[in-house]
Structure 1
Amino acid sequence: MTVDTIGWDTTQRRAFGELTARSWLDADFRLRYEHDPLSVLAEYNLRLADGAVAPALPPEPGSELVIEILDGSEAMPPPPPCLLSLCFCLYTPTPGE
């Protein structure tokens, strides 16, 4: 089961993104998800349909995450606080690429 096939809305997908990011930073949390995904999902207000299998956590990113402000100015005040939002882009090459 993947996040794409569960039918979650944008808010639920964001919650799963936050859960995923936490799993990358906290090995104990990741293990807890692997052993009891339903209770961890419930902590993020995520529910599965009856009989649905919890989605697997994506693998950790292969490189560091870098955040840069790209507005052209060197001296900027820090950005205002905001909620974490993740975007996962998956690419599967087709044969011959």
Structure 2
Amino acid sequence: MEGFIFLSDVLRIMAMVDEQGNFIPFSITFITCNLTEETGGKRMTCDNVTLAGHPFGKKNSPKNANHWMNGTRNMLIPGRPRPTTVHNVLITRFNGERVII
């Protein structure tokens, strides 16, 4: 039987750090979506992914993307030159388990 995990648990686990304060890597599958360019719809599966900074953003940062309010997370995906923004509700699998809302 296939396992599942709640999205709230996924977001909590993503933000976990090890003893040195580094984000713990995970595997993720999500559907791409770029509302600005009206593109997306591709399924991406990536391994050894980590968050790219604090999930709530820096309050005093001039470029605060406000990921918590927008329901997104920036992720460092191996092989990509810069962080990738992923919409939380478009995450379909996390560490091999199906994500449910």
**Higher helix residue share:** 1
Relative to the length of structure 1, the TM-score reads 0.23
Relative to the length of structure 2, the TM-score reads 0.23
**Higher strand residue share:** 2
If you compute each CA radius of gyration, which structure gives the higher value, 1 or 2?
1
